[in-house]
Structure 1
Amino acid sequence: MSSNKSCYCTIVLFIFATSWYHVASSLSYSEESMSIKHEKWMAQHGFSYENEKVKEARFQIFKDNVQHIDRHNQEGNHTYKLGLNKFADLTNEEFLAKYARSSMQSFKVASSYQSSFEYTNIKDIPPSLDWRDHNAVTAVANQGTCGTCWAFSAVATIEGIAAIRSGNLKKLSEQHILDCNYMHEGCKGGRQNSAFEFVIKNGGLASDTDYPYIGIQTACANNKPSSLSLNITGFGFIPPNNETALLAAVANQPVSVDVDITILQFYRSGILTGECGTNLNHAVTVVGYGESDDGVKFWLVKNSWGRGWGDDGYIKLQRNVNAIEGMCGIAMIGCYPIA
């Protein structure tokens, strides 16, 4: 019996070592092949560097990121894939410094426009929903390096409720809010509720055509006609740390939430499961929910980093996780406009 056990252990160790060697060897890149990959990536995204020293530093970061992405995808035990995107020459710390700008988590709201949560007793919630299928979601946009995720998230919910109530979907202006609403820190961040308050007090919001997004704060041109088909009269907050309440709200309209984006830099497709932080630092919009063929429930989330990030600009975050905060803190803070 002892001899059989020894033989079995030897076989297991051999298989493990062989598998490890296969993964490790498949992640071996020549400097030339990696350099070619970097040049192609630069051309794809229109990147250039000020000098060779900077380029070499960025190339080293790029190589590390490529290996991280490939290692994750080859492990074969994840429910989601990673992929190269425009953030591939940034360290995670640099990525967070540029794109983690929402400040909703530290804000104690006190506004006459805030209403109590209105979806407490909602019944007959459908098992899945995608507001894109109901013509209530505009195309994914790109906020650039300006920290306007809060404005994009708020505007997406306003576009959504307006389309649901009126049947008329229009792309509205984040730039109008960035330039003319002074209750924020410009491109350094802001809060979705202040965007709602601006639209209410302003009596509407310009279209993106009349007031296009340029990604920097400029002088307010608050003389554009409103393209809103109805009036926003207030806003509500989702009861915190309550995915059931969030589900009831999303079943009725798109909802703005804050999430922790620390591990989302290279998300490409699938349902994000596993470990994720709850340091809320980015605003996104929940535009639906569903369940995969293998039974994993998810939130469908619209981002504002362009269609080149994620799954055509979207991400699926696991729903009903074993933590009241939700995946990446999605259930901690949520809000929506009232029309």
Structure 2
Amino acid sequence: MIEKHEKWMNFHGRVYKDEVEKSKRLKIFNENVKRIEASNKLNRGFTLGVNAFADLTNEEFRASRTGYKRQSKHFNLKSKSKSFKYENLTNSVSSTMDWRKKGAVTPIKNQEDCGCCWAFSAVASMEGLNQIKTGKLVSLSEQELVDCDTSFDEGCEGGLLDTAFEFIKSHGGLTTEAKYPYMGTDGTCNAKRAAIKSVSIHGHEDVPENNEDALLAAVAHQPVSVGIEGGGFDFQFYAGGVFNGECGTELDHAVAVIGYGVEEKDGSKYWLVKNSWGKEWGEKGYMKIKRGGGAKQGLCGIAMKPSYPI
């Protein structure tokens, strides 16, 4: 295991401050690897892998990599939408959808040790809508949201999707990633950079809660931002396949649903999700989550709080 840990350290460029820290991390790494290997022997339809998070406890991982609605003050939100424009289209959607194939998904990004998944999720659905409307795929700035959207949302300390969309609408849009690059930390709002707006929206709509058919209708027409419970062990080390692992409905992470489909080998229905944990996680940064057949909230609560820009 020591040799395995050394190889892993070299691959991920991990350096520890001293031998005490290294010994502590080796112990955590050892426990995680054993649990990953035990899980994979169960043939659950998806696999776990020894990824960049293998020397973190689940508590450490959750603290740095999630970040959806941590503060109770967010629940005074007045902006909840009443309309749902895809309401009458739930029965007339294609059997599969992958917005990557339509050119509406930017490459996988990495939020790093900053709990601003909410910004990445909101930006991903906005990038998708912009491409659908204009034919141009433009990478937009998460850092502008982290630095400037601070009346409701709190940068690396967490935020909400609806409030992010409200901020974008009220401030005339977002600038590009190139003009306001991602830093992975809370910063001071750079008004000069943020002033050069690239893409604007009229607002947002919420998908009816706990309704996977309604979510399907929305995703058939554009990428959709969702909250999920993504802080568990199975999520931390997901490597591939249709995820059907352990997770509840305590929403703590935000991602973008960029499609859906059916697994050829066993007919499993899934949601196709774009995450913000880098390309080394999951299926090159993406994930398939089991769709339908369970609780109305959807697996990991995926159908509880979906919303999209308009």
**TM-score for both structures, normalised by structure 1:** 0.86
Once the two structures are TM-superposed, the CA of residue 186 in structure 1 deviates from its matched residue by 2.1
Q: Is the 8 A contact 1:58 1:89 kept in 2?
A: yes
1:334 pairs with 301, 306, 310, which one? Answer: 306
Matched pairs, number: 301
1:278 pairs with 245, 249, 267, which one? Answer: 249
Letter paired with 2:12: H
State yes or no: 1:44 paired with 2:15. Answer: no
How far apart, in 1, do the equivalents of 2:293 and 2:183 lie?
A: 38
For 2:69, the equivalent position in structure 1 comes to 103
How far apart, in 1, do the equivalents of 2:236 and 2:245 lie?
A: 15
Distance 1:121 1:105, change over 3 A: farther
Q: Is the 8 A contact 1:105 1:280 kept in 2?
A: no
State yes or no: 1:150 paired with 2:132. Answer: no
Q: Is the 8 A contact 1:102 1:282 kept in 2?
A: yes
For 1:9, the equivalent position in structure 2 comes to none
Q: Is the 8 A contact 2:70 2:157 kept in 1?
A: no
Q: What whole-Å deviation, never above 9, does each CA across 1:282-307 have from its counterpart, x for those lacking one?
A: 00000000001111000000000000
Once the two structures are TM-superposed, the CA of residue 321 in structure 1 deviates from its matched residue by 2.7
Q: Which runs of 5+ in 2 are unaligned?
A: none
State yes or no: 1:301 paired with 2:264. Answer: no
How far apart, in 1, do the equivalents of 2:102 and 2:66 lie?
A: 30
How far apart, in 2, do the equivalents of 1:138 and 1:53 lie?
A: 41
Q: Is the 8 A contact 1:105 1:333 kept in 2?
A: no
For 1:82, the equivalent position in structure 2 comes to 48
Once the two structures are TM-superposed, the CA of residue 50 in structure 1 deviates from its matched residue by 1.2
**Matched residue SS, 1:283:** strand
How far apart, in 1, do the equivalents of 2:119 and 2:245 lie?
A: 29
Q: What whole-Å deviation, never above 9, does each CA across 1:243-293 have from its counterpart, x for those lacking one?
A: 011001000100000111113000000001254211110000000000011
Ranked by relative contact order (alpha carbons within 8 Å, sequence separation 6 or more), the top structure is 2
Q: Which runs of 5+ in 1 are unaligned?
A: 1-33
Letter paired with 1:272: F
Letter paired with 2:273: V
Once the two structures are TM-superposed, the CA of residue 105 in structure 1 deviates from its matched residue by 9.6
**Matched residue SS, 2:267:** coil
Q: What whole-Å deviation, never above 9, does each CA across 1:192-233 have from its counterpart, x for those lacking one?
A: 1121122112212111001100011212112231222xx301
Once the two structures are TM-superposed, the CA of residue 335 in structure 1 deviates from its matched residue by 0.6
Residue identity (%): 50
Letter paired with 2:46: Y
Once the two structures are TM-superposed, the CA of residue 132 in structure 1 deviates from its matched residue by 0.4
Once the two structures are TM-superposed, the CA of residue 114 in structure 1 deviates from its matched residue by 3.5
